[in-house]
Structure 1
Amino acid sequence: MDAFLTLAEELHFGRTAERLRLSQARVSQTIKKLERRIGAPLFDRTSRRVALTPLGAGLHAELEPLVRRLDALVERTVAAARGVDGVLRVGFLGAGAGELTPSIMEIFRSRHPGCEIQMREVHFADPLGPLRDGEVDVLLTRLPVEEPDLTVGPVVLAEPRVLAVPAGHPFARRAKVSLEDLARVTVFGVSGPAPAYWWDFHVPRETPSGRPVPRGQDVTTFQELLALIAAGQGVSPVAASVSRYYARPDVAFVPLDDAPDTEVAVVWRTAGATARTHAFARAAADAVESNGRPARY
C-alpha cells in the first residue's frame, strides 16, 4: 500500500520511485498488481499526467487515515519499549495551561533531557480529533471530556469565565453580567465534530431558568470567534485569561459572575498511553503543586 499512497500524493511515477527508493518499473508493477486485485483502475495515466480515478480517490480517502493510525500505533509501541526518550507531541487548546505551561515543560525537560517536545495547537471545532488520530500524544484542553477511550489526568488550571462582547455593546459598560443575560444576546455555535456536551458547557443553550439562548453562525477557530464578536455578530463566554492572552481594543470582557469555573486538564488516549505520556502527566501535577495548590485528578 506504500506505493499506492505515495503515488496518490505525488501523482508522478518518478518522484514516487525516488521516495520509495524503487525503480519506476517496480512501482508500476506494484500498482498494476493492486489494480488487478481490485478489478478496476485506480489511476488514469497519460504521457503527461497521472490522476486518481474516482475509485482510487475513494480508496485513498479511506486508506490514508487508517495507515496513519497504524503508523502511530507502531510508534507508540516502540516508544513504550524504549521508555521516555524520543519525541512527545503535546497538543494545546487556546493558551494551554496558561502561565503554568512553561513550568510543566521545564520540569519535564529537566527530568527527561532525551525526550524532545513538539507542540501543536488544536481548535475547538475538533479539540479531540488530533489526539484520537495520533497526531498528538497528550493534550492540554478544556474540560469537560467524557469519552470512554480517553483518560483525563491532572487538572492544571481552574479559572472564572467572562463574557466577550463588542467594545461598544451595552454590556461592556457593566461591572458584571449573569448567565440569565445570555437570553438577550446571540452566541455562537461550533462547526465541527466537537462533542455537543463540551460546547454546551462553554456556551449554554439555555439560561439557568430555562430561557433559550439565541445562537448565530458556527465558528471553527478562536480567532474567528473574536473577529465575529468585534464585528458585532454576537457574544461568547470565554475563560478569564483570554482577556490577557487575546486582548484587543474592539472586544471587552465582562465578568460572568454566576458561571462555573472552566478547567484545563491533561488528556490522553487510554489505549495509547506510554511512559512519556505518564511522565508528562506527572510533570504537570508537580508543576501545579509547586505553584502552591494540590494537583487534582
Structure 2
Amino acid sequence: MTLISGDDQSGDAVELRDIEIFLTLAEELHFGRTAERLHISQARVSQSIRQQERRLGGTLFDRSTRTVALTLLGQHLREDLEPAFGQIRAALERVTAAARGGCGTVRLGAMGALPSELLWLVDAYRVRYPQCAVEFVEFHFSDPFVKLRTGAVDAQLMWRPVPPEQGRCGPVVLTEGRVLAVAADSPLAARSSVSMEDLANQTVLDPGEAVPRDWFAAMCPDRTPSGQPIHRGPRARTFHEILALVAAGRIVCPLNGHVPRYYNYPGVTLLPIDDAPLTEWALVLPDTPVAPHVQGLIDTAHDLGARHIGSETVEVRLAASEFA
C-alpha cells in the first residue's frame, strides 16, 4: 500500500512497508534484528530509513558503530505513527479474514455463571461471523490469570482494573452492582442493605499469593472509604469454598450483583451494598497479537457497548430458604 504526501505522486510516496520498517527499527534499535524480523536484507532497512529521513528533512536515528537510538524527531514520529499503523494493519487483517471466510472458535475464559450474561454478545458475534463460535472456559479467582498467561484461552472476562502486566484490557461488556454475603445468623442479615463502611473490622477472604493484590482489592478492599481496617482471614480456592466460609460465619465477602440469580447456598444471606462502585467486566487479551476471529469478537463488543446486569427479576436480599 502506498500513502501519498501532498500533490507529488512520484517523490513523496510513502510505502506502508517503510512505515513498518521504521517502527520495527524503533523497537529493536538494531538493523540486523530488524532485517531478520521482517525477513528482508539489512541493506533494505538502511535504504528505507535513509529515504524516509531525506523525505522528512531530518534524522530519525542516531547511529554509531555500537548503538542505534531514536532522535527526538524519531520519537515524535513513532508516537504519531504507532496507533494509526496498528489500526490500518488490524483493518486489513479483518478484511482479509472476511474475504477468506474467516472462521475459528474463540476460547473465552469466564468465572461461574457469567457466560449466561454474555449470550447477547455471542449471538451478535455469530451473526456477523457465521463460521465462528465461542467456547467458554471456566477459571477460578484463586489463580485468575494463569489461563490467559499460558494460552489456554484467547481472551478472558475480568473485572477492572486489570494489572497491565497481566494483559491488555479491551472493551467493557458488562456492568453490575455488588452484594455482601453474610451468614444467615449474622446481625447484618437483618438489614435490608449495607454500605462499604459496614465492612469495618469484619473479616474477609485472603485471596492467596497467585491473586494480584490491587486487582482483588478493587472488589474486596483492605480499608473502608473512611480508612477503617478490613481484616483478612482464611483462604479459599473456589467460589463455593467462599460460600462455605460465609455460612460458617468465618468471613463476610463482597460479591457481584449477579450472584443471587444463580446461587443457592444454605445459611448465606446476600445484601445489596448501596455505595459500592459498579463492577466493570472487560474482555482482556494477551500481549501477543490476536487471531482475526478473536479480533472479530472484540470489534463486535466495541460496537455493541456494555450491558448492565440489573436486578429487576430477582430480589437481591435472599436467604437460602427463599430460593425457589
Match of 2:231 among 203, 207, 214: 214
| Structure 2 residue matching 1:207: 3-state secondary structure | coil
Match of 1:196 among 205, 210, 213: 213
Aligned residue for 2:80?
Answer: none
Aligned residue for 1:134?
Answer: 151
Q: 1:98 to 1:143 in 2, by over 3 A?
A: farther
Matches within 5 A, 1:111-260: 111-148=128-165, 150-260=167-277
Deviations 1:26-49 (A, max 9, x none): xxxxxxxxxxxxxxxxxxxxxxxx
Q: 1:290 to 1:162 in 2, by over 3 A?
A: closer
Contact kept in structure 2, 1:97 and 1:264, CA below 8 Å:
no
User: How many Å apart are 1:212 and its aligned residue?
Assistant: 1.2
Match of 1:88 among 84, 96, 106: 106
Matches within 5 A, 1:255-270: 255-270=272-287
Rg bigger for which structure?
2
Q: Provide the C-alpha distance between the structure 2 equivalents of 1:86 and 1:201, rounded to a whole number of angstroms.
A: 34
Contact kept in structure 2, 1:103 and 1:287, CA below 8 Å:
no
Q: Provide the C-alpha distance between the structure 2 equivalents of 1:87 and 1:231, rounded to a whole number of angstroms.
A: 41
Q: Which moved more, 1:190-199 or 1:126-135?
A: 190-199
User: How many Å apart are 1:106 and its aligned residue?
Assistant: 1.0
Deviations 1:196-215 (A, max 9, x none): 10111111111122221111
Aligned residue for 1:281?
Answer: 298
Q: 1:228 to 1:134 in 2, by over 3 A?
A: same
- Extract unaligned runs of 5+ from structure 1: 1-78, 292-297
User: How many Å apart are 1:289 and its aligned residue?
Assistant: 6.5
TM-score, normalised by the number of residues in structure 2: 0.60
Q: Which amino acid aligns with 1:85?
A: C
Deviations 1:55-98 (A, max 9, x none): xxxxxxxxxxxxxxxxxxxxxxxx99967412221111233365
Q: 1:273 to 1:90 in 2, by over 3 A?
A: same
Higher relative CO (Cα under 8 Å, sequence separation at least 6) belongs to: 1
> Percent sequence identity over matched residues?
40
- Extract unaligned runs of 5+ from structure 2: 1-92, 309-324
Q: Which amino acid aligns with 2:226?
A: S
Aligned residue for 1:107?
Answer: 124
TM-score, normalised by the number of residues in structure 1: 0.65
User: How many Å apart are 1:105 and its aligned residue?
Assistant: 1.1
Contact kept in structure 2, 1:96 and 1:141, CA below 8 Å:
no
**Corresponding pairs, count:** 212
